[in-house]
């Protein structure tokens, strides 16, 4: 096991009716900016619950944060927050609203051009405090210090990270997810699944517990994902799915182990160039990447085949291929196609995406050696 | 799943060589009181590492905190700390030193008789900040807000809990455990195992992930516990065991589920009356309690039999008994006997311990209805 530091100060407030806790959770006296997306929270009652819980508080609003939150949009919120002297940000929505709000929180006190936080990895030392009412289980942003921001003008979608953007609290009420479109639930299941994969599917370092904890997440997702989709108002299924998505990327299973993240980095670029939903890029790229890297990920692939899919007999190559096929079949079973061509991505994509990484000089994977050639091969296999 | 709040702000600094991080972790300028136990840290080099890391800081010492930390001893540290205006407590040792230090931290600013914190459950609103260098994987105290304090004069051993006593940081260097006596390692394995059991072995509430996470801990403990014992200087085994013990009681697997804790509460009383090591009380009481409560814990016992012990065939009663026997056999395999008579506890014990609970009017278990009669029956079966 590698040395590690684990520190996750997010307060999770979980369960039905917990939005009412907002009054107690948001620090008093601060002027609040509530951020949200396209307005689904107005239809499903979440907006009204938040307003009721914060009645009498100084509360401004900023709606319209889009999926894959856009730099230009977020900078409008930054200007508003600076002008109005906002002291607390409350993100109400899914991972995009939350990621966007983490960027807003960082950009408000930032000296210089905030895009540098993402593009030049300038460290974020301070941020306006933020909290969250989560309405979509998927990204884990509610319990981590990560965010991914897009800038369509330059065709970029890039992550940043800072302990300063850990939410002070995150409210997770599974009932807020009842009205989600099935597509968003499906994407979330795949996203959580691949988050686990990025932290597990590398090479063994004797991290016995982290491996078991990762497998625990997969076994739970296999059980509750399809049930949550089939029965949108099944509280137990929705609650377990929500908690799985949070735990899949709250840094716990990733402590002391090597991590990959190539699927995500390639996927972000596919989203930036072609507009695919994040989860859908992962469903196509992850299996292709596993096949491409099967030799180097061999030991972990065999363990995954055994413990998650029960594949313990026959030649090792068959077990590995079997586990990758089971993974694809699982993604399709929750309604997410596993080929880029299913989404209309054309044969020019691999070269185009690879060129982007070439220009940046960015290499990927747990060995940091997947370059444009490998990225292109993986994308070709994912077409 | 039940509603829950999860908030664990402890910073874990894990790995070989991490004691050197102390200089950065202990807040500057505060006068530090370093607490420890019987002096093993002087033999294994930990004392020297701590002193070296904190060279130049105002550092006082208080040694001699005994296993099952004693109120009278701890109050001496409280007097010292008050007199010397200590601003930070650094516990160096295992769960007893850490639990004792949590009590010291709470008692220093406490108005009134500090024993009331334990005996009358007076809430601890503030405490002197504390950190920890852990040298014994067992209790999980390094990442939780719990402590258990003994007062031999009145034959008591009682827990208390407060968010104010979360360690600010805990340093976990697996190499500090190389020189532990096998008995302490064995006890720690059993303690961690039963911590998981107290949070799992109740009745199902649809907490799919928490169940899997608990099982992950057991599967990991089964693998690394015996290896850590057989090979004291196997870094990977010692590291995984240490991380398992922390995760077994950092509140994560217990969120949103009913909890039992009867084995612990009865065990504490056995320790208070007969002086048995904590882990050894658990090894005897847990199997007896599972058999006594098998009807009410049936669904979870069957799941445990299946997922932890691979017992999936034959009559359900046989699978349940098989799983309990496997558990006992595991405890014995790591060197911990599973009968109270193995430790010289006599036939008078059940009535004597039960009377203690009767006097307190305290009832136990996930239904809160195990009274003196049931406690006596369980202890008789554990003899």
**Contact assignment for B224 to A208 by CB distance below 8 Å:** yes
**Contact assignment for A212 to B216 by CB distance below 8 Å:** yes
**Contact assignment for A16 to B2 by CB distance below 8 Å:** no
**Contact assignment for B15 to A209 by CB distance below 8 Å:** no
Chain A CB contacts of B231 below 8 Å: none
Tokens 């995954």: give the residue: A304
In this prediction, what percent of chain B has a pLDDT beyond 90? 98
pLDDT tens, residue by residue, B56-79:
999 999 999 999 999 999 999 999
Copy the structure tokens of residue A282: 């992962």
**Contact assignment for A1 to B236 by CB distance below 8 Å:** yes
* C-alpha to C-alpha distances, B192 to A100, A241, B241, B290, nearest whole angstrom: 40, 27, 9, 17
Report, as an integer, the average pLDDT of A153-158: 89
Sign of CA dihedral A67, A69, A70, A76: positive
Asked if A11-176 and A182-382 have one fold, the answer is no
**Contact assignment for A209 to B16 by CB distance below 8 Å:** no
Sign of CA dihedral A213, A218, A219, A221: positive
DSSP state of B283: H
Could you say which of B217, B220, B256 has the minimum Cβ distance to residue A14? B256
Could you say which of A7, A14, A220 has the minimum Cβ distance to residue B3? A14
User: So where are chain A's domains?
Assistant: 11-176, 182-382
**Contact assignment for B240 to A206 by CB distance below 8 Å:** yes
Q: Does the structure show a pLDDT above 90 at B12?
A: yes
Chain A CB contacts of B243 below 8 Å: 1, 209-210, 256
pLDDT tens, residue by residue, B208-221:
999 999 999 999 99
Q: Does the structure show a pLDDT above 90 at A288?
A: yes
Shortest distance, CA A284 to any CA of chain B (angstroms) = 26
CA-nearest residue to B205 within chain A is A236
Q: Does the structure show a pLDDT above 90 at A11?
A: yes
Can you name the CATH fold of A182-382? Answer: Dehydroquinate synthase-like, alpha domain (1.20.1090)
Chain B CB contacts of A307 below 8 Å: none
* C-alpha to C-alpha distances, A313 to A307, A319, B312, nearest whole angstrom: 12, 7, 19
Half-sphere exposure for A259 (CA within 13 Å, toward CB): 18
Contact predicate A383/A350, CB 8 Å: yes
Could you say which of A15, A213, A219 has the minimum Cβ distance to residue B3? A15
pLDDT tens, residue by residue, B130-163:
999 999 999 999 999 999 999 988 888 999 999 9
* C-alpha to C-alpha distances, B361 to A85, A154, A224, B355, B356, nearest whole angstrom: 55, 70, 41, 10, 9
Tokens 């007097």: give the residue: B79
What confidence category does residue B121 fall into, taking pLDDT thresholds of 50, 70 and 90? very high
Give me the helix-helix angle, B182-200 and B278-292, nearest 10°.
30
Burial of B87 (0-12, 13-18, 19+ CB in 10 A): middle
pLDDT at position A125 is 96
**Contact assignment for A224 to B208 by CB distance below 8 Å:** yes
Chain B CB contacts of A208 below 8 Å: 220, 223-224, 236, 240, 244
Burial of B310 (0-12, 13-18, 19+ CB in 10 A): exposed
Q: Does the structure show a pLDDT above 90 at B240?
A: yes
Shortest distance, CA B169 to any CA of chain A (angstroms) = 9
Cα–Cα distance between A285 and B163 in angstroms, integer?
A: 43
**Contact assignment for B11 to A12 by CB distance below 8 Å:** no
CA-nearest residue to A13 within chain B is B5
Q: Does the structure show a pLDDT above 90 at B39?
A: no
Report, as an integer, the average pLDDT of B102-116: 97
Shortest distance, CA B151 to any CA of chain A (angstroms) = 34
Shortest distance, CA A142 to any CA of chain B (angstroms) = 13
pLDDT at position B155 is 86
Chain B CB contacts of A3 below 8 Å: 14-18
CA-nearest residue to A19 within chain B is B3
- In this structure, the number of other CB atoms found within 10 A of the CB of residue B153 comes to 9
**Contact assignment for B212 to A219 by CB distance below 8 Å:** yes
Full strand arrangement of the beta sheet holding A130-134: A59-62, A32-35, A88-93, A130-134, A169-172, A4-14, B4-14, B169-172, B130-134, B88-93, B32-35, B59-62
Sign of CA dihedral B209, B15, B95, B270: positive
pLDDT at position A155 is 86
Could you say which of A14, A206, A223 has the minimum Cβ distance to residue B208? A223
- 3-class SS at B318? helix
pLDDT at position A29 is 93
Cα–Cα distance between B178 and B136 in angstroms, integer?
A: 10
Q: Does the structure show a pLDDT above 90 at A260?
A: yes
Q: Does the structure show a pLDDT above 90 at A2?
A: yes
Cα–Cα distance between A169 and A133 in angstroms, integer?
A: 9
Tell which of B212, B245, B248 to mutate to test the A interface (max A CBs under 10 Å). B212
**Contact assignment for A244 to B209 by CB distance below 8 Å:** yes
The CATH class of B11-176 is: alpha beta
Tokens 């003196």: give the residue: B372
Could you say which of A1, A6, A219 has the minimum Cβ distance to residue B239? A1
Residue of A204, A376, A231 whose CA lies nearest to A299:
A204
CA-nearest residue to B168 within chain A is A7
CA-nearest residue to A219 within chain B is B212
pTM of the predicted model over 0.90: yes
Report, as an integer, the average pLDDT of A301-321: 98
ipTM passes above 0.95? yes
Chain B CB contacts of A223 below 8 Å: 208
- 3-class SS at A4? strand
Could you say which of A12, A240, A256 has the minimum Cβ distance to residue B5? A12
Report, as an integer, the average pLDDT of B187-213: 98
Q: Does the structure show a pLDDT above 90 at B383?
A: yes
Report, as an integer, the average pLDDT of B16-27: 97
E strands, chain B, are 4-14, 32-35, 59-62, 88-93, 130-134, 146-151, 156-161, 169-172
DSSP B328-362: HHHHHHTT----GGGGT--TTHHHHHHHHHHHHT-
pLDDT at position B257 is 98
Cα–Cα distance between A355 and A375 in angstroms, integer?
A: 9
Chain B CB contacts of A14 below 8 Å: 1, 3-6, 255-256
**Contact assignment for B206 to A239 by CB distance below 8 Å:** yes
Copy the structure tokens of residue A45: 């009652």
**Contact assignment for A5 to B13 by CB distance below 8 Å:** yes
Interface of B with A (CB under 8 A): 1-18, 205-210, 212-213, 215-217, 219-220, 223-224, 236-237, 239-240, 243-244, 247, 252, 255-256
Cα–Cα distance between B376 and B383 in angstroms, integer?
A: 11
Tell which of B8, B216, B226 to mutate to test the A interface (max A CBs under 10 Å). B216
Compute the mean pLDDT over every residue in chain B, rounded to the nearest whole number: 97
**Contact assignment for A11 to B6 by CB distance below 8 Å:** yes
Report, as an integer, the average pLDDT of A346-352: 96
CA-nearest residue to A239 within chain B is B1
A-B CB pairs within 8 A amount to 127
Q: Does the structure show a pLDDT above 90 at B206?
A: yes
**Contact assignment for B207 to A247 by CB distance below 8 Å:** no
Compute the mean pLDDT over every residue in chain A, rounded to the nearest whole number: 97
Q: Does the structure show a pLDDT above 90 at A132?
A: yes
pLDDT at position B375 is 98
Cα–Cα distance between A199 and A79 in angstroms, integer?
A: 37
pLDDT tens, residue by residue, A219-247:
999 999 999 999 999 999 999 999 999 99
């Amino acid at each position: 096991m590698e040395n590690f530091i684990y520190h996750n100060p997010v307060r999770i407030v979980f369960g039905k009716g917990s939005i009412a806790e907002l009054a107690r959770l948001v620090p008093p006296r601060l002027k609040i900016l509530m951020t949200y997306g396209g307005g689904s929270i107005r239809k499903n009652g979440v907006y009204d619950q938040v307003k009721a819980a914060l009645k009498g508080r100084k509360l401004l609003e900023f709606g319209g944060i889009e999926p894959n939150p856009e730099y230009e949009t977020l900078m409008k919120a930054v200007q508003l927050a600076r002008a109005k002297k906002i002291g607390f940000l409350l993100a109400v929505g899914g991972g995009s609203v939350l990621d966007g709000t983490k960027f807003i929180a960082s950009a408000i006190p930032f000296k210089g051009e905030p895009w540098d936080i993402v593009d030049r990895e300038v460290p974020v030392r301070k941020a306006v405090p933020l909290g969250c009412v989560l309405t979509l289980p998927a990204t884990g942003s509610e319990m981590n210090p990560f965010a991914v921001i897009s800038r369509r003008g330059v065709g970029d979608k890039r992550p940043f990270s800072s302990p300063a953007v850990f939410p002070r609290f995150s409210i997770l009420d599974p009932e807020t997810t009842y009205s989600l479109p099935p597509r968003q639930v499906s994407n979330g299941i795949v996203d959580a699944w691949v988050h686990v994969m990025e932290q597990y599917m590398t090479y063994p370092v004797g991290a016995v517990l982290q491996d078991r904890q990762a497998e625990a997440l997969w076994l739970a997702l296999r059980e509750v994902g399809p049930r949550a989709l089939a029965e949108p108002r099944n509280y137990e299924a929705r609650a377990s799915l929500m908690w799985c998505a949070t735990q899949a990327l709250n840094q716990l299973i990733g402590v002391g182990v090597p991590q990959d993240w190539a699927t995500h980095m390639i996927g972000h670029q596919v989203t930036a160039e072609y507009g695919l939903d994040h989860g859908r890029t992962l469903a196509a790229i992850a299996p292709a990447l596993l096949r491409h890297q099967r030799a180097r990920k061999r030991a972990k692939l065999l363990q995954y085949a055994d413990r998650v899919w029960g594949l313990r007999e026959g030649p090792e190559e068959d077990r590995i291929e079997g586990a990758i096929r089971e993974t694809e079949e699982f993604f399709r079973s929750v309604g997410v196609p596993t080929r880029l061509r299913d989404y209309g991505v054309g044969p020019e994509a691999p070269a185009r995406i690879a060129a982007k990484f070439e220009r940046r000089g960015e290499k990927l994977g747990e060995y940091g050696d997947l370059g444009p050639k490998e990225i292109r091969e993986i994308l070709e296999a994912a077409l």
